[in-house]
Structure 1
Amino acid sequence: MSTDSISQRISELVTTLSDYNYQYYVLDTPTVPDAEYDRLFRELQALEAQYPDLLNPQSPTQKVGGAALDKFEQVSHEVPMLSLDNAMVEDEFVAFHKRINDRLKTDQIFEFCCEPKLDGLAVSILYEDGKLVRAATRGDGAVGENITENVKTIKSIPLSLIGSSDNGNYPQRVEIRGEVFLSLDGFHAFNQKAKENGTKPMVNPRNGAAGSLRQLDSKISAARPLAFYAYGLGVVSDEFELADTHCERLQQVKSFGLPVCPEITVAKGIEGVLDFYKNISEKRASLNYEIDGTVLKVNDIDLQAELGFVARAPRWAIAYKFPAQEELTVLNDVEFQVGRTGAITPVAKVQPVFVGGVTVSNATLHNAEEIERLGIMIGDTVIIRRAGDVIPQIVSVVLDKRPDDARVIQFPTSCPVCDSKVEKLEGEAVTRCTAGLFCGAQRKQAIKHFASRKAFDVDGLGDKIVDQLVDENLIQSPADLFVLTQEQISSLERMGPKSAQNLVTALEDSKATTLSKFLYSLGIREVGEATALNLANHFQTLENIQQADFDSLITVSDVGAIVANHLLSFFKESHNIDVINQLVDNGINWPFIEKKAESEQPLLGLTYVLTGSLNEMGRIEAKNALVSLGAKVAGSVSAKTDFLVAGEKSGSKLTKAQDLGVPVLTEQDMLELFKKYGVNV
């Protein structure tokens, strides 16, 4: 390349990165993932190192971040708040370690203070005589924004330090540096509340934290669930004796009353650091805050001073980042998959891209509402994110790169697998196929549920047998189970003639059931055992249930509008009716239920809760017996609970019942109740 072309490329990179910095630090609206920024930044660094005469004083490599916002008072940092150089792979950290050895002219093994790299906003907090007097953002490293009133609202940051400076508890003047962030619990709770109130949700925790601190009205900041972890010191008055290591100094900061990340630890040498990196990477998905790597600092303060700084970063620290979790790619197409519960999920087929340590070609788009929220079209350039083992997802669209031939995504109006009708109930985001017993995508799950212990309880028909029967195309629906022959079953792996005959016998024995168990076995959404029993007791026959309208259904105990709509959708689907008819034709039967008068339902209107282990009978049998007497059996204790039946090893439900003054029955009390009303158990 000619000098002119190199100079032009450097100029392009400076302009592009400066724009990205402005969008990220000033506008709080980043348009590219961190991985894209890092890639361009490193290219610029390499060119400037190779051609120092072409170095632009305005280059982003010569400063840390963006300019302070005009709407805040500016604060000059007495000690610059520098950034960190990055290591992206193990070899780059090893090279960093070698540079330390070379500069110190030693081969000794160093201790490192190892920290998770929090994904938030760096701030400086100044205390004088133990009182918080000023807080500022990092800004460009030399000048930041005065955000004192907003930082004061963060619950984890004390307005006064612990103890007194006269007693040596803390310095007379001390500047604490750390990261303001949003916990994941706080982030999700805020967005849930925003959804309920119809207000704008946060895009992600990092942007949410930055935006929360950049509010002119501190009341807005106070309403945000911000948190803080300290990671270092700036100015410290001379009279206070600081510890000799970085990690020990963080413990001193903790003793002042400020929080420090509990994951921080000391590691020795390269192997120790790599172990920390591996361990924190594995824990990443379980942490309650987002991290994008580790920060590794030479622990010895004297060695830090000896190593010193380069223009924008200390020589004694480095950020060893995780593989990129966000990348740019192109949406080539969208396919629609049907899950085992009938949920229809749009799957983005993207141009393969390496993100989060793996090559990704598929990503979830969740549902039709998400497609509408993103405003995404086929052909768009998108930002894709992969966090830990979570399924990759598309988080935003780069609208400036939308091609002229971009196509609208059409959500299917019928099931992509079986062509049955789909439903999307009010208040739900998911669209579902209604052919639960017929749809091929739901077949295995439907049959496993049908044969489960609480339904038909077919002895010997385990999940692996069901998988084989479906894979070998021996059954298409639960009805086909009852026409299987010994020869067909014995052809399966690990199924000899005797086992096959036992299964045929078990299937024959299971044909005699009850209407409530039959209803439960159909796998209708949200129709559990108690609801199925209530429906059976109320309507007496399957025909009555099938013909019931919405108003009739919601008169049944435990059947609200949502369950009623699930029932109506299920019985409107002709495929489901076909399977039910085949089951009856194949010998499934149950006795007629004579509806009990209210006088024969002495517990009508009462709500019971069961907890703990029962010795004389199973929980299901107890629940069914209570329901047969007219009671409602709830899953949790509330002020509306009339009685709690407490078995052995009762826990929190018993405690709550006692706190609420709910009468508590023993298992023996319940058995006496059943005996009194003639229930055989």
Structure 2
Amino acid sequence: MSQEIKEKIESLRKELHQYNNAYYQNDESLISDFEFDLKLQELIKLETENPEFFDANSPTLRVGGGITKNFPTIPHQFRMYSLDNSYDFDDLEDWEKRIEKTFGKDEVEFVAELKYDGASISILYENGKMVQAITRGDGFQGDEISNNVRTISNIPLTLNGDFPERFFMRGEIYLTRKDFDKINEKREEEGLDLFMNPRNTASGSLKMQDSAEVRKRKLSAVLYQFISEEFPAETHWELLQKAKTWGFNISSQAKLCKNLDEIKDFINYWDKKRHDLPFEIDGIVLKINNIKQQQTLGYTAKSPRWAMAYKFKAEKVETKLESVVYQVGRTGAITPVANLKPILLAGTTVKRATLHNEDQIKKLGLHEDDFVYVEKGGEIIPKIVGINLDKRLPDSKEIEYIKNCPECGTELVKIEDQANHFCPNELHCPPQVVGRMIHYVSRKALDIENLGSETIEQLYIAKLVENPADFYALTKQQLLPLERMAEKSAQNIIESIEKSKEIPFEKVLFGVGIKHVGETVAKKLVKNFSTIEELRTASLEELVQVEDIGIKIAESIHEFFKNPENILMVERLKEYGIKLEKDENFNQTDSNILEGKTFLFTGKLSLFTREAAEEMVEKNAGKNISAVSKNLDYLVVGEKAGSKLKKAQDLGTITILDEQEFLDLISQK
């Protein structure tokens, strides 16, 4: 009997996989939705009654329901590189010339593909079954999200045909515009904040704990790269065609190009037609077609030499300015924001754009009810770039910058060498008070998990917290009445607050929010002043003697400790057991290999974070500095290194390293 049940289960699974594949890969409906659901329910019932026949790749797992509390971090067997970007055809011509030096003219063909705007994924298949799915992460390791990826309908769980025994497929998980709009319509009905764009929503959806909720988001996937030790074809194009026969959703817009002219035609076509697509793209990816040529060219420290991403230029549209509002930041800085008549820009609806500061408003010459030109910087952040003066009303008034804080009414101040206006009421202006506490709990400061900005705002409105010291007086009973606060959540917050008492002095000093005292400055102060009391009583002269501490920072520290409310907060933190003195091992180093050498990091780093890089310098007795000058020994460059790299090259005395060369330098110890 059990053998019959097993055969029935396997037969249903095979059938449903075939129907799924035909529907999602070939747009064929071999069975009605009603019949499909009947078969699916029959399989669910059989699997529930016979758990011994469980299969991680059963079609029933498309429904989801698995809960993942923590997503384990898994190393990538094959590193996931980022791509070099180009923004004009000159960059592509330079790339083509570099390739021709290796292989000769007319010896190379290319594959041009749409650059989907989503979240990168690497999926392992063994013996025709999906085994594991890992996010890109930092390229070396990512989060394992297999349960969630199994709910995505056009990712095959089992393969068809003559596929290799073991390989990875790389691709992009994304949301169509239609499905993104549906999600936001539902959130609006429920009174929730709307999501900003499809890409971030897709990325966030992949890390949801309940895979059944992930399935409701209706994510899609396109697969574009076969990865393995050995390749079952000689070209990337052949691999894509094979992958399609195995059941993968391969972009139907990809094109084989013989030369750069064909590539340009492809780019120009999609630059105009991209907004007709049902999903968002932000450029075109170009790859050398021949696998052996790819292997010959290899990789730089951060990207393949055989591939390039062409990014589309920002789109510009016209709309009407409806009003200007003013936001107050954590530091008291005032940011003017334009409310716009909603427009579709680069595939998303835009209602607001930053105006930066008063100088920007004056430079634009902005008037009430103006018609303005808006574009998205890097296809993400909307900004006003001009005004249609032909449409300006004769009696329209110039926008006048506000004189008082929109939150607390305090008269604004403008510091001579800064562009922004500030609200000086830092201890009692609501956004500044809340912002200061959000900063205190942030990862780089006290790192208090589970205590997010919404919870802090609720606590402030309930008059339970007004400064960071108040966190340590909170009880679980005070937290429970808050909206969406369960007993377990409240307990987690209390435990996280208690754990923050182990955070070292330099992070606490950064966290209390002294103006101009960032992470690096906090470390240098702790290096010279062992306790908060020593820092509080230090004279201006003693402070400016500390390396990289100028009179502006010194005066800011003095002003902080002149305020009785700040002194009281610090005393309360001390009473609650917060570390306000230097750890014994603070100045301990791993080696002296970088002693006497100065370092600066620029560009987007892919092998390590900037924070980790600077820590490596300090742990090996080196020194981090903040600008390119004759005092700099090494400039370490990541992606898109700009003016700092150029200045270092012009000086000619600075050693320029990529990330791997920096690691090699440290490893000499």
TM bucket, shorter chain: 0.3 to 0.5
Structure ID, larger Rg: 1
TM-score under structure 1 length normalisation: 0.41
TM-score under structure 2 length normalisation: 0.42
